Amino acid sequence: MQAENLVGKEIDNIIIQERLRGRGLSVLYRGFVPQKNENVMLRVMRLNPDDSAINEKFRYEIERLRMLKHPNILPLGTSGIRDGYG
């Protein structure tokens, strides 16, 4: 199930400004955090409560992303599930 267009919505104090690309089950967005005056990237995936395999894959990817440490890779800022999105 493809994630819907979230441009203009706010998630956890992040204003979603632009849809950059969609591929597979997720969509990449550019967002802005007014409190920090910074731009961020969001990868949003529509989760299906009935599909434990996809939900488990999401959690696994988050764990793996947290382990990445490299000067050319931005650290994972936050993650979670909100309103059926991960």
Output the six-digit token pair for 16: 């979603």
In the chain the first and final C-alpha atoms are separated, in Å, by: 13
Query: How far apart are the C-alpha atoms of 54 and 47, rounded to whole Å?
Result: 7
From the centroid of its chain, how far is CA 71? 21
pTM: 0.69
Q: Which of 10, 15, 38, 16 is nearest to 29 (CA)?
A: 16
Per-residue pLDDT in tens (0 to 9) along the chain, 86 residues? 344 688 999 988 899 999 998 877 778 899 999 999 999 988 887 777 677 887 788 788 888 888 898 898 877 777 777 666 66
